[in-house]
Amino acid sequence: MSITPAELAQYVDHTLLAPTAVAADVEALAAEAVSLGTYSICISPSMLPVTVGLGEVKVATVCGFPSGKHTATTKATEAVEAVAHGADEVDMVIDLGLVKAGLFDQTRTEILAVRNAVPSPLVLKVIIESAALTDDEIVAACRAAEAAGADFVKTSTGFHPAGGASVHAVALMAATVGGRLGVKASGGIRDWDTAVAMINAGATRLGLSGTATVLAGGRSSGY
């Protein structure tokens, strides 16, 4: 597909999840998001609420991050607090051990607990850490997310040693949810060509920390 940098920016959750982030970093992220025209900013829950102007830019945060090895109650509690502090979207990490053990009903149950804490029209994204899963496990995790009422499935936290997003995983996730859910590609997307490849594979949202660099790559390529 042909896409301009301004159009691609509207796919982007402009992300800052560094453990060392301080309030000034969030303020700078917000200002850059407005300047670049991204869809949202994605920040750690401890950095909420955002107290600077964002215009039309949404606020996303995370729960159960980055390991997913939290109880469903803990994840739901995090999500309730995040919503109370102004989050429009919550990206939750599933317990990968449940998926690896084939306990997909339990995966669905924990996602549902967070879905109940993030009621529509607020947006729930489910991080499945696709690089750590087999294809069959990716499909099963996506099906559990859909059954629990999630709005998106998301490839990665960007913190797992197995890696981040891949075109293969995005395409498989997109085929599994069939347009009924969005697909967010996140983790390791650092240039224009990779970002466009993810969209071509079926991503409907991108998690980027180096958004300005990615968009500059599109402009320098004549898009």
pLDDT tens, position by position, 139-179 = 999 999 999 999 999 999 999 999 999 999 999 999 999 99
Q: Write the CATH number for 139.
A: 3.20.20.70
Confidence (pTM): 0.97
Question: Could you give the 3-state DSSP secondary structure of residue 67?
Answer: coil
Residues 38-50, mean pLDDT to the nearest whole number: 98
pLDDT value, residue 103:
98
In a domain, 108, yes or no: yes
Query: Is the model more confident about 220 or about 110?
Result: 110
**Beta bridge mates, 16:** 43
Task: Spell out the residues 6+ positions from residue 161 whose beta carbon is closer than 8 angstroms to its own.
Answer: none
In a domain, 34, yes or no: yes
> How many other β-carbons are positioned within 10 Å of the β-carbon of residue 122?
16
- Say what percent of the chain tops pLDDT 90: 97
In a domain, 5, yes or no: no
pLDDT value, residue 223:
67
Q: How long, in residues, is the chain? A: 223
Q: Which residues are catalytic?
A: 91, 154, 184
Task: Round to whole Å and give the CA distance between 129 and 153.
Answer: 10
Angle ∠(206,208,211) on CA atoms, nearest 5: 115
Name the residue among 206, 200, 161 with its Cα closest to residue 183: 206
pLDDT value, residue 219:
83
Task: Assess contact for 155 and 178: CB atoms under 8 A.
Answer: no
Residues 38-61, mean pLDDT to the nearest whole number: 97
In a domain, 202, yes or no: yes
> Residue 15 belongs to what domain range?
10-220
pLDDT tens per residue, range 82-130: 999 999 999 999 999 999 999 999 999 999 999 999 999 999 999 999 9
Domains in the chain, number? 1
In a domain, 45, yes or no: yes
- Say what percent of the chain tops pLDDT 70: 99
Ramachandran angles phi, psi of 42, nearest 5°: -125, 120
Name the residue among 142, 146, 155, 135 with its Cα closest to residue 197: 155
In a domain, 3, yes or no: no
Task: Round to whole Å and give the CA distance between 155 and 201.
Answer: 13
In a domain, 1, yes or no: no
